[in-house]
């Protein structure tokens, strides 16, 4: 058990923000009451970010502006703004893609705050490990576009679904 996954639904949200969270670039709710359910920083305008992310019309996902002050971890004691992620249709939502869309929109709205220009370089190694290689980081940092890495990110998805199907206990 992890103290950062206090609720059953916390495990559902882990793929939404867990990889980005490795960078210490923005709060993902660890240190607050919404672990893995949000993205926030002291340089974000909550309404602006929510509007831009909702305009992407991501399947099964809505973003709500949020204002908070984390109790510990990234942004401890600092007034922050950002978005809370709401999964409206779990079947349609592409959970791990969400963090890359947030990274892309943050770079568009706040070009001087692009993720790999501002993240803790000492944490790149862990980001690369949980991403599977440094490819995601190096390619995304060129243009800050999810479309540049989407194919690589999804390359093993169909094979995994096919191989894992025989282990399902349900249909």
**Domain range summary for the chain, segments of one domain joined by +:** 8-167
Q: Give the pTM.
A: 0.93
Q: How confident is the model over 128-166, as pLDDT tens digits?
A: 999 999 999 999 999 999 999 999 999 998 899 899 999
For 2-61, write each residue's pLDDT tens digit: 888 888 888 899 999 999 999 999 999 999 999 999 999 999 999 999 999 999 999 999
CB atoms within 10 A of CB 31: 19
For residue 1, pLDDT beyond 80: no
Tokens of residue 146, six digits: 């999810």
Q: What is the mean pLDDT of residues 59-86?
A: 97
What class has domain 8-167?
alpha beta
Nearest to 74 by CA among 110, 38, 20, 28: 28
Helix residue ranges, H only, 22-155:
46-55, 97-109, 115-118, 124-131, 135-143, 150-154
Distance (Å) of CA 14 to CA 22, 98, 148: 12, 11, 23
5 Rama sector, left if φ>0, alpha if ψ -120 to 50, beta otherwise: beta
The answer to whether the CB of 76 falls within 8 A of the CB of 69 is no
Phi then psi for residue 18, to 5 deg, are -60, -35
């Amino acid at each position: 058990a992890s103290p950062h996954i206090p609720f059953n639904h916390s495990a559902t949200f882990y793929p939404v923000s867990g990889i980005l969270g490795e960078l210490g670039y923005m709060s993902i709710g660890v240190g607050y009451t919404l672990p893995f359910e949000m993205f926030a920083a002291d340089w974000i305008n909550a309404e602006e970010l929510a509007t831009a992310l909702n305009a992407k019309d991501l399947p099964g996902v809505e973003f709500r502006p949020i204002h908070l002050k984390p109790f510990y971890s990234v942004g401890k004691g600092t007034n922050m703004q950002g978005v809370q992620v709401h999964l409206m249709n779990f079947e349609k939502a592409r959970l791990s893609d969400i963090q890359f869309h947030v990274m892309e929109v943050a770079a568009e709205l706040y070009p001087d705050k692009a993720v790999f220009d501002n993240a803790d370089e000492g944490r790149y190694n862990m980001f690369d490990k949980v991403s599977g290689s440094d490819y995601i980081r190096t390619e995304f940092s060129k243009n800050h576009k999810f479309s540049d890495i989407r194919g690589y990110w999804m390359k093993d998805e169909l094979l995994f679904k096919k191989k894992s199907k025989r282990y399902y206990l349900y249909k």
